[in-house]
Structure 1
Amino acid sequence: MKIKDIHIYGFGKFTDLKMTNMHEFQVLFGENEAGKSTIMSFIHSILFGFPTKLQSELRYEPKEGTKYGGRMTVDIDEKGIVIIERVKGKASGDVNVMLEDGTRGGEELLRDLLHRVDKTLFQSIFSFNIHGIQNAHHIKGEDLGKFLFSAGALGTDQLVRAENSLQKEMDGRFKPNGKKPYLNEKLRELKHLRSELKKAEQQNEHYWKLKSEKERLEKELTDTQAEQALLHSMKLKLEAWMQIQPLKLEEMAILEELKEYEDIQFPIDGLSKLERIEELMKPLEGQISSLTDRLSVLAEELRSNIPDINLLGQEHEIIKAVESLLLYERLEHEEKELQERCAQLKDEELSVREKLHLTIEDKDLISINTSVFMKEKVKNAQEKYRRLDLKKIDLDERFNNEKQMLEEIEDKIKEYEKKLQSETEIKTLEENIRRKRVQERTQFTIFSILFSVLIAWGIFESTLPIILLGVIGLVFSIYLFNKKSANADHDIVKDRNQLGQLTQFKVQWTERNAQYERVLLDYETWENEMAKAEREMIELGKGLFLPREISLAYLSDAFELIEQLKKLYREKKMAIDRHQLITAKINEIVEAIEHQCNEFLGLTYSSIQEMAYTLRKRLKEEIEKNMAYEGRKKKFNELKEERQKNQLEWNHFKRKKEELFQQAFVTTEKSFRETGKLDERKRTLEEQLLHLQRQLKIAMLNEQEMESFREIADLDERIYSNTTKHKMHEENIPILQSDIAKVKYEIQLLEEGGTYADLLHLYKHKQSELDIGAREWAKFALAKDMLNHTIERFKNERLPKMLEKAEENLKYLTDGRYIKIFPKQEGSGFLIQRKDQQLFEANELSQATAEQVYVSLRLALAVTIYGKFSFPIIIDDSFVNFDQHRTKKVIQLLKQLNGRQVLFFTCHQHLLTYFSDEQIVEVGKEMGMPIK
């Protein structure tokens, strides 16, 4: 699964937030409180539902009433593009899922797409933050291995917490050598009770006899005390009746007198109410009279101080006109500056026109194309024309050089042709030389043979002079032959060298003549290019309204002057337009102030400032007058309202007074007061009756008892008889209590060790409590045993594959320093092997290395055991405690998770250097939001 797009309708601080085209490795950067946790919670909520109100997680409901929820577009391998939308509805929200083929569904379809993975499992395996990795810092040394094992098995420390919780529950109930645990205490109590039970068996029979005697005595005591209580109660009632008998007689007399006042009807506290009403009505009458007088005075003041309503109605316009005076002064100053600027621009324009020495109308000037493209075109044309001028100079120089060289070669050829003989003469000379060489060779041969024969004869005869003569003759013949041959060759070689040089000069003439012809062709090409360049220059000059001579000589300079002239024209036009606008605004301000003066002042003033000042002063006076008028008017209304209020109160009390008369069924105040006196006597009697009845009510006798006691003739004799019987019981009770105490003492002696039945019952009860506690301990022991079996099964079946990947990760993260992870043979935990084959417990590692082990296990768990679920891996600032090298290694490891999206949340700027700008989204700004 890959998250492609996120659209938050309303979630926490975000409203209508969109994130599109999310990358395979997506970094979400933002400062604290920027909203990273909100986006992470949004992803969890869309996939697994909003947290309910009973859960501790934040719901992130928007406070501004926007739509709660949003949607995500995800790419699922087997389903293609899927849109998941969840909005506020039932507890976890209403979800709508739409597949690429058009299939729609709800929560059930979403659970199928998520392979029935719930939120807890997803957060445990695929989503981890800094708190998970930092747990390795705070766990006790002996538990660190278990924590890492739990992280590798479940992604969290739930395994460690479960194991520790089960062991804690077991230790709280029983320890083999413990004293405080529940089962240990129960076992000690049972042992003690078993010994006490054996002692009680021997004294059991005598004990039950004493118990029976005690019960008989207690029953007799109870009966005596009950009879005594009845006698005492009757005595008290008779004495009470003796005291309340006069009160009962007085009650009967009052009831008889009250029958005379049965027809009187009078309101409660009627006379007091009448007095209070009259006391309240008298000051109200005075206040009403005083307020009427004050209202008359204020009405007169209001009539004599009415403000100018027309002037006040124009307050906004007057203030606007007066406040425009500052603008008026600024505009006057600007008007003067514009006049000076217009004059300056005219001078500059005249200067440019003089340099250009042409008359160009303004309408033509505006139509001239002075764009950068035209400027470049003019520049190129001017440059081309200049280059062709320079090329003409170069061609002239080449032409003269080639012509001179050609003439020099022609002179050399003529000179050598004069020196050389004709070809026939040369051939005749060569033929004579050959014949002469043949004769000389023949002569040389003959002489050589003769002198050789002479030498041979001298040798044969052993005659030295003959040998010398032969040798000298032979040498002379050779010398003479070589000298003649050399002279003949010299004459021929000399002629042939001159002929070769002549040939060479002719070849040079051919080459130079070809170059000369090429120069002439270059002249023709130059003339064509020059004509084309001139036409282009003249054509451009026409567009600038320039004559032919200026176009050819000063096209670029003229263009710059025209461009400058056009700029000056525009500036001058803008200045003139601005001047006209300012003049119109000044006139508008003056007219507005003059209009207000003519309407409300009616006088002539020397300046616009004086008019504005007078208007402001008059308006201020009328405003103050209006404020005073409004104050009086407000006071008038307040007094009027107060008088009306007092009048309403007076009328209210008058109605109350009339209601009192109606309740007493009278029409006059005199009749009301007479009836009130009779009502006071009636109420006095009723109060006396009530007081008597309260006294009678608190007496211990009820009405029936009082009626029965009224029939007793001799009350004193009845009281005396009752007292005598009560005294007899009073003397008998201490004797019974003494007998009971003796029996109880004997029973107590037997019960010091407990009776047999009680001890037996207590023993069975304690044994039952022990059985219940043992079953509780066994339940937790069984759960722990099942957990251990599960751990062993995990270690044997699923752990090896996960550890293989974890070892690969750890080796990469530690640059090969740690190479193996071995599960412990018993229970949970790991041993870590260093490259030197040394093994370490998890608590023996440094904190940084333990964190690297944790990361290795978590990533291995996600891609092996839970590899079939291709959910994104969500990481929230989990590596902030790593140094730069470890951080670089873990990020490189994450980038190697092919086929699985990684969402990396961070608030640390320095981590962004490991990612490209396209991968980074900054949270909390105007989101759309790649950093580029």
Structure 2
Amino acid sequence: MGFGQFHDRTFDLTPGLNVLLGPNEAGKSTLTQFITAILFGFPTKKHPELRYEPLDGSQFGGSLDLVKDDNVYRVTRVAGPRGGKVTLQNRTTDLTLPATQLPKLLAPVDLQLFENVYALNELRLGTVFQASKQVVMDRLRHVGAVGSDFWLAQAQQLDRAADERYKPQGRNPQLNQQLQQHRDLTAKLEKANGAYQDYWRLLQDQGDARQQQATLQRALTEARQRVNDLTQQLQAWPIYQQWQTLGQEPTVATTGFTEDDVTAFERVTSQVTAAQSALKADQHRLQNLQSHTQLPKLFQEALKVTPQLTPLLAQLATVTETEQERARLLAQQQDLEQRATGIERQYATANGQMPRPFSLATTQQLKQLQDNLALANQKRRRLQQNLNQANEDYRRLQPTRQHRNPLGDKQVGWLAAGLVALIGAMFLPGTVFKLLGAALGIVIGYYGVFVVDSQTPASRQLQELADDIKDLQAQLREGGQRIDELTDQIDAIGTAHDLGRLPAEQWLAAQAAIGEWERLTRQLASVHQRLTATGEPQQAFQTAVTTLLPSLAHQDFREILRQLEQLQTTQQQLATQDGELAGLTAQLKRDQTALTTAQAAQTTFLRTRNVADETEFYHQYQTIREQGNRTAQRQALATQLGSDRLAQLQQTDQATLTQATQTAQTTATDLQHQLDTVTTHLATLAGQLAHLTSSGTQAVLRQKLANLETSMQATAREWVLDRLTSQWIAATLAAASGDRLPKIVSQAGEFYAQLTENRYTKIELTTETLRVQRADGAWRTVGQLSRGTAEQLDLAVKLAFAVVMQSQAAMPLVIDDGLVNFDANRRQATYQLLAKLGQRLQVILLTADSAAQTVAQGPTNQVVRLTSK
């Protein structure tokens, strides 16, 4: 496994002081983050700088050992969802525990408490300057009462809720705003009482103006509709003119120039073209036939040996077929060799030896062994699951040690009961009863802190589970031996048949390939034998031909066959040349007759349509097409205008339409002006009414004032309840931590005196802040200390917490270069204090200061040197 720069690295730490000494980039911060991540989970990928994923690409994660109650637990965490996959093992009892037990094992320490107290560095010690008074108080309460974070958060939430409702000097809180609204409503109600008559007069004027406004709006809508209709007619006038123009074009007759006529003319023209092409082709053939009267050189050479060559030409067809068969056999031989080579490459041994095939008995034996092995593995997994369940039951029934914890279930119940008693006391009549009820609530909450749960033994069930675990472990050992025996028998079969290089799961599947290889080998031998049988006759035929025709001596066999076929063709052509010349002459006469007939049909077609040639025919056809397009375009324009719009335009002219549009626009403008005047008057009336009724009517204002007063009373009750509940929680937590907080403060004062060489001798926690006393008696707050001195104060408090709370929260102290702001003397004093504390708890100091190694002496201390990479 790996984490950051570390890969498969182990660190053995002692129970006392461990000084991990190394320069920068030696991995000190990596180890600190490793401890935190393994215990509490890996950060998400949104914070890659805190994940420390391995630099060498190995598996992300690691493990560490914890010691608690004389038991050693190993925590292993690897990459996975929700902070990583966790494995928890009790190495003392050799039991694997569920991952959900890890937070219980670390309780009451969580990630926040570990980082705030136990994992220290310069950054976390420096936060002492950033803490407000309330934050310092909450941290000390957290130190004094382990697990009080929930109740502190509840108290802070209640304080925030109370502040959101009321602040003496605030403006935004709810009750402050309600008080201001109450003053404003009271003033508005007084103003409304003096303007009642004017208000009704203005309301009457406003109603008349609104009626006039509605009448003008209807007239304006009709005028605008008239303007819109006339404007659309005027805009459509150019389209109407175009429609009229298209209707004035002259029309011509369309007989004889339709699409069918064009198709018929093209068919006749194609016949003429085809007849001309056939006539030219036959004329060309006649010329070629007449030009081939000169014989080729090979034919002249063959004439001299015709008697000897004729028997060989008679064998030409048979020899050609034999050559084709030989070419097919060569291709088949190449294919068989490639397929056999592919099988050998996959299954042959290193020395080229192919595995031997299984017999039927061996196949059945191997299948039986594999089935038995699968059953044995399945039985082993089932036994392991039963063993894990038994271990889980055994761990669950083990008696566990209960610690006193103010956040236990019963403590929470007692605290809730005390809270109910305190709230109920607020509603009791009389001050004496309220005080008695509040005191009773505090006593109940204080008593609940010290409730201790009892333990429940289950010895008999634990003994039965222990016996079952031993029996399951014995069965697992027997199953392992059975699996080893079956595996050895399977390996023996593989060795006997040269199958050692293949996984056993592939042996049966490989038998088909091994059988295919043997079949291919037999086919190769047969093909080779047939090639040898056809080679000798072919060689004899080639020798005989080249002896008679020396010009073919240097040609390959296929070229010789081609030349002999051409020789036969020439002989046949010479025999039929006279008959072919006569046939071509007759064909030329027929071609000329077909051409004359096609040309006459074309002439007749053009004459019946009163056109002279092809160009005039297509010109007349195009003219008729354009006439059809104009008719379609005129119909499209009529559709675009619409029948109603077209009828309107036919009843007027452009000048009349323009004049009507201008008149309608003038009328709409006058109506808009009148409507604007009325609207302005309405706005004036509304302003006057708003001025008179800015505070509302009398009845409305009185109702608003009554509702506001009711809401103010409810807000005041909620504010008192939140404030008193927060104070009760603070008092209860203070009481709960009262037995430990003084010890922590006292112990922190002793540590602080040692760290500062007795310059500061006392730490005091007041009701509002934390202060320290110098040796000369002067007091200083945290803000008045230097950075190093303030960090030493924070370190002293956290060391005191670790010592006082060790019995309930035993965790190691991890300090990662946290002393960089200490001077040499105080740093040395810190080392000595840590060495002394190492006798009581485990301290892990990661530093680059070589002076730290001088104090790590003793049987429980050690120094580990880190090197940078």
TM-score (norm 2): 0.48
Q: Which has the higher helix share?
A: 1
Instruction: Say which one has the larger Rg.
Output: 1
